Structure 1
């Protein structure tokens, strides 16, 4: 008795597979638009950073909302002043989203992180940024 083999996964591009990437992009776009419209420099709109409240020192994400607000107004120098690491990471996030969307549209199976070294390198960069921006010679990196 022969049972039919399951169909092979499709390698063609399928728009119907783009639901989750499209929703994530729409949510990110809506959040970015909100930050672009509601200035984070004005108090009362966003919660304060807990790490900053406890230590008086900025965390790696401090200045991120102001950075996004400046970028939505095409003010790159101000965005770099608020959080240079975030400005550097936004293109990487875009590339990773695009890669995810294409893999999802092609119905490719999800892969685990084959090589953890890039993730570890990113963690080291974030930690170094965090430490340096809190040192006296790194005040230019502080928001």
Structure 2
């Protein structure tokens, strides 16, 4: 064997020798893992705080729903700001009357946020993989809610 030949050339079936592999990342502190869920909660609390102080029942503070303005039809979000205002003031009956679906959404958000915070504190990611059928179901609920609240017998759901 030629002395100038490299060791890799002498043994083609052996993998080349490389330097040290990638270092494992340093463990992340619990405070850092909770930064994103706490930041999202702070943003939501800030938004609710703003809606609680600036009353959407007084005209001129918020824009009018474009769907309601141009078609006269209540969308699934119509009454959402009034619902958030009432909810922030602890008036659950008025919140449900303004937009019952929004109140359900507040509960779903709270449950998902708690799950997210618990998993983040344990160092596990939040993965919610819903099958397409669930998304179609959510769309169907929104559609039925929109149609029913615009019919005479569903006027209790209108804002």
TM over 0.5: yes
Change (3 A) 1:43 1:135: same
Query: In structure 2, the residue corresponding to 1:47 is in which secondary structure?
Result: coil
Confirm or deny that 1:118 pairs with 2:134.
Answer: yes
Confirm or deny that 1:99 pairs with 2:115.
Answer: yes
Alignment check: 8 A CA contact 2:149 2:155 kept: yes
Distance in 2, matches of 1:135 and 1:21, equals: 39
Could you state the TM-score of these two structures normalised by the residue count of structure 1?
0.85
* Alignment partner of 1:40 out of 56, 81, 89: 56
Q: CA deviation at 1:8?
A: 8.5
Structure 2: which 5+ residue stretches go unaligned?
A: 1-16
What whole-Å deviation, never above 9, does each CA across 1:104-129 have from its counterpart, x for those lacking one?
A: 33332454625333332222111110
Distance in 1, matches of 2:130 and 2:89, equals: 38
Q: CA deviation at 1:103?
A: 2.8
Where does 1:8-87 land on structure 2 (aligned, <5 Å)?
14-87=30-103
Confirm or deny that 1:88 pairs with 2:104.
Answer: yes
Structure number with greater CO (CA < 8 Å, separation at least 6) is 1
Query: In structure 2, the residue corresponding to 1:42 is in which secondary structure?
Result: coil
What whole-Å deviation, never above 9, does each CA across 1:3-43 have from its counterpart, x for those lacking one?
A: 55764896x98221122211111111011011111110001
Aligned length: 142
Could you state the TM-score of these two structures normalised by the residue count of structure 2?
0.77
RMSD over equivalenced CA pairs, Å: 2.4
Distance in 1, matches of 2:132 and 2:25, equals: 29
